[in-house]
A and B are shown apart, each in its own frame.
Chain A
Amino acid sequence: MSRRVKKSAVAAGFLAIGIAATGCSGQSATEQQGGGGDGDGSGVTISHWQHQSDARAKIVQDFADGYDDASIDVQNIPYESYFQKLGAALEADTGPCVFQLPANILAEFHDRDELAPVPESVMSAEEIESSFTPASIELLNIDDEYYALPTDVQTLMLFYNDDLFEEAGLDPSQDFETWDDLVAAAEKLTKTSGDKMIQAGIDISASPYQWFYSAPTLAYPEGLVADETGDVEYDSEPGYQAWDRLTSLVTDNAVDDPEFLAEQSKFGLGKAGMTFKEFTFTGVYQLTAPDLNFSVHVAPPVTDDAAAPVASTSWSYAVSADCEDQDAAWEWVAHLTSEESQRVWIEGGGELPSRTALLDDESLQGDSNIAAGFTALAEAVPYDSRGWDDAYAIQQEIWDEITLNGTAVEDAVDKGAEAERELYRTKGLLE
């Protein structure tokens, strides 16, 4: 064998070792958190993960750039892969110090010993309870300790297309008092040509989850899940009634059709009289449908004797139990959720405040739509299912079974509730 071939072989061997070494170069959590390169001189670097949203990414990066107490390494991860990456990274001890979680699945991460509690030095339980709205912190308290601080609070609100309301002879300034009033208005707003729908009374088929997060939650005094048992309640009256009335919008009242503008925002296109969405959609519609003349209202109770008028969802910022500098991480989270920062979130991110002091601040309520969101928040109760996308999939299947497959409401709801229970058992959240 010539010298040249031998040299090539040695080079190939080094290449192989190099590739192997590259493949094994995972960074540990400690290395990530303690890595150099911080420009603040404190020597502390906090890794911060959240799911991608352009508005939120910009606001957090601005906060990070202006933060002097630590260097913040912000990673915005596409929503589709956020939980996969977070779960795997926390398992492999390469996860971030600070991360964003939906408030209603905090207990699952707590159960896995992945969360550090909010230290007294940063905020005591009394301070948290006096500073934040009850709906935004209810799910953050586990075993009498707080494990996260709230962000991205959203009330679920009814949106009217004011022009279509007036065209149909309806008053867009009035809230509906009863479910029957809403159904009657939706029927008036629905238009067909031959056997085809050309305008929906309510845009619900493409995104019904806001309804099925809200109505069963509001139907019970303790929400979707019973506090004592940790079990889902909606496979009983009034849960059946909530599911029956919601699905009847499509199956009986025919105020929307899954095949009409399938999967598109009929409301945004001006092809639906109403829709039911998170408050942040006020900003979404202003951006994507600038000519849409809409107003925001509290929806009427779906069930008889509903326990509360408005449901909310929220996210939270948590700190990893493996984070080396937990106090610094919590200081950063406290900064992100401070009154001053919340003003920025409200102006830039289409959010509602979780700080009670800001609820009455009229300078933040520029128009009647924003004011409606603020008012609703004061009375809101959180959607409290113990699952996120996994629970959503189960509840969506209940919807599909009833509206697409013609399954009887009670059968579909019973099957879904049992599946959600099994999910909780799998996660170790239910005996």
Chain B
Amino acid sequence: MTTLVERGERRARPSRSLRSHRTRWAFVFLAPSLVLFGLTVFYPMARALQYSLYHWPLGSAKKFVGLDNYRRLLVDDGDFRQSVVVTLYFTVLSVLPTILVALFIAVLLNDARLRLRGLFRTIYFVPVVTSLVAVGYVWRALLEPSFGLVNTALGWVGISGPGWLASPDWALEGIVLMTVWRDLGFYMVIFLAGLQAIPREILDAARIDGAGPWRRFRHVTLPLLNPSIMLAGVIGVINGLQLFTQVYVMTGSAQQLPGGPLSSTRSVVIYIVEQTFRPLEMGYGSAAAFLLFVLIMIVTLIQFRLVQRRFEY
């Protein structure tokens, strides 16, 4: 396959002074955003990194402790390790099914023969534009063990539903259920965009070569959808590792602090908030926040290594 550039029409390379001139003006126009980004993102991050090296209960003098906060988190603090496990478990449990189901729905809704496709796409997308807090409260009511709709429906088919958010064994699964339901529409749109970008002629060629629907999906659609799957995976994992709002809304109340019962839903971000703002200890919470940042970086890089592959036909 030849590219546009290889076919000729090679444009003249701009002179060095012109490139430098353009770069300078590009920076001038980027300056407002860079300043804003620097002030609201990089500066707080740098200060948080600085604080993580101190023992600093608010109201007391800061005491430099080097990497001791990190050591305590990694070696001594079983609660932090448990929150990491909860967060990873949630991420795996929510991202995989969401992507699989969203892909399945996207394939169905991409079929030109399906009537009312627009209506179905809208229905699946509605939860995405609904407030996560509102959705959390609705699901909290749905998952109420004795009178909630979910257990009532399970009762109709002879299943005695679990305690959901009241049970340490089921609370996280309840939050996963709500998250899958809410995020489905978002990933569906990503996959629909990916599916519609696959050239028709490639699928037609596969059909002419005798490939059935499953083989066309397995060997043509899926590989060409890889960038979309990669994008969905990365977004899903980052969101999963930053789990906060669902836990805060679904397990917290005026009488109960979020993250329960028995810390079974306490994610890393919930833990950071607890450690920082309950005892007002800035250093320890900042160190936990940086460890989460490193965790997200590592997991995302692993994803890029494992999933990012180029397919061309």
Task: List A residues at the B interface (Cβ < 8 Å).
Answer: 1, 5, 8-9, 12-13, 15-16, 19-20, 23, 79, 83-84, 87-88, 90-91, 109, 111-114, 196-197, 206-207, 209, 258-264, 389-390, 392-393, 396-397, 400-401, 404-405, 423, 426-428
A20 contacts B35, C-beta separation under 8 Å: yes
Q: Interface of B with A (CB < 8 Å)? A: 21, 25, 28-29, 31-32, 34-36, 39-40, 57-60, 140, 144-147, 163-168, 253-257, 260-263, 274, 277-281
Q: A16-B31, A261-B144 are in contact. Are A397 and B59 (CB under 8 A)?
A: no
List the A side residues contacting B60 at CB < 8 Å: 112, 428
Whether A19 contacts B163 by the Cβ 8 Å rule is no
Provide the residues of chain A in CB contact with B278, threshold 8 Å: 83, 389-390, 393
Once the chains are docked, how many angstroms separate the CA of A397 from the CA of B266? 13
Residue contact A426 to B255, C-beta cutoff 8 Å:
no
> Which B residue's beta carbon lies closest to that of A5?
B25
Instruction: List 14 A-B residue pairs with CB atoms under 8 Å apart, sorted by A's residue number.
Output: A15-B32, A16-B34, A19-B36, A19-B39, A23-B40, A111-B59, A207-B255, A258-B166, A262-B163, A263-B256, A393-B257, A396-B257, A397-B262, A404-B168
Q: How far is the CB of B225 from chain A (nearest CB, A)?
A: 40
Cα A19 to Cα B39 in complex, Å, equals 9
Whole-angstrom distance between the alpha carbons of A68 and B60 in the complex?
Answer: 37
Most buried by B among A84, A197, A423: A84
Report the minimum CB–CB distance from B13 to chain A (whole Å). 20
Q: Are A259 and B145 in contact (CB under 8 A)?
A: yes
Number of A-B contacts defined by CB within 8 Å: 117
- Min C-beta distance of A147 to chain B, whole Å: 14
Please measure, in the bound complex, the distance between the C-alpha atom of A91 and the C-alpha atom of B280, giving whole angstroms.
Answer: 10
Residues of A within 8 A of B34 (CB): 16
- A-side contacts of B163, CB under 8 Å: 258-259, 262
Interfacial chain B residues near A23, Cβ < 8 Å: 39-40
Q: How far is the CB of B312 from chain A (nearest CB, A)?
A: 40
Q: A389-B257, A392-B257 are in contact. Are A264 and B279 (CB under 8 A)?
A: no
Cβ A260 vs Cβ B279 within 8 A: no
Flag if A9 contacts B59 (CB, 8 Å).
Answer: no
Is the pair A19, B58 in contact by a Cβ cutoff of 8 Å? Answer: no
Q: How far is the CA of A5 from the CA of B22 in the complex (A)?
A: 12
Once the chains are docked, how many angstroms separate the CA of A118 from the CA of B29? 56
Distance in Å from the Cβ of B136 to the closest Cβ of chain A?
13
State whether A260 touches B145 (Cβ < 8 A): yes
Complex Cα gap A388–B121 (Å)? 48
Q: Residue among B163, B165, B274 with the most chain A CB within 10 A?
A: B163
**A263 close to B166 (CB less than 8 A):** yes
Q: Is the CB of A427 within 8 A of B57?
A: yes
Residues of A within 8 A of B261 (CB): 258, 400, 404
- Closest residue of chain B to A263 (Cβ to Cβ) is B253
Which of chain A's residues has its CB closest to B273's CB?
A84
- State the 9 A-B residue pairs at the shortest beta-carbon distance, nearest first: A112-B59, A262-B166, A207-B255, A259-B145, A259-B163, A16-B35, A87-B280, A16-B32, A84-B277
Chain A residues near B140 (CB, 8 Å)?
263
Q: Which residues of A contact B255 (CB under 8 A)?
A: 206-207, 209, 263
Residue of B nearest to A407 (CB): B262
Q: How far is the CA of A167 from the CA of B39 in the complex (A)?
A: 66
**Interchain CB contact under 8 A, B165 and A426:** no
Contacts known (A112-B59, A206-B255); A263 close to B29, Cβ less than 8 A: no
The answer to whether B31 touches A426, judged by C-beta atoms less than 8 angstroms apart, is: no
CB distance from B23 to the nearest CB of A (A): 13
Do B146 and A197 have beta carbons less than 8 Å apart? yes
Tell me the complex Cα distance, A196–B152, Å.
Answer: 13
Residues of chain B contacted by A400 (CB below 8 angstroms): 168, 260-262
Q: Which residues of chain B have C-beta atoms less than 8 A from A261's C-beta?
A: 144, 146-147
CA distance A49 to B59 in the complex (A): 18
Closest to A8 in B: B29
Chain B residues with CB under 8 Å of A5's CB are: 25
Chain A, residue nearest B164 (CB): A262
The contact of B165 among A20, A114, A262, by CB within 8 Å, is A262
Question: B10 to chain A: closest CB distance in Å?
Answer: 27
A396: chain B residues at CB < 8 Å are 256-257, 260
Residues of A within 8 A of B59 (CB): 87, 90-91, 109, 111-114
Residues of A within 8 A of B21 (CB): 1
B31 and A393 form a contact (CB under 8 A): no
Tell me the complex Cα distance, A128–B233, Å. 64
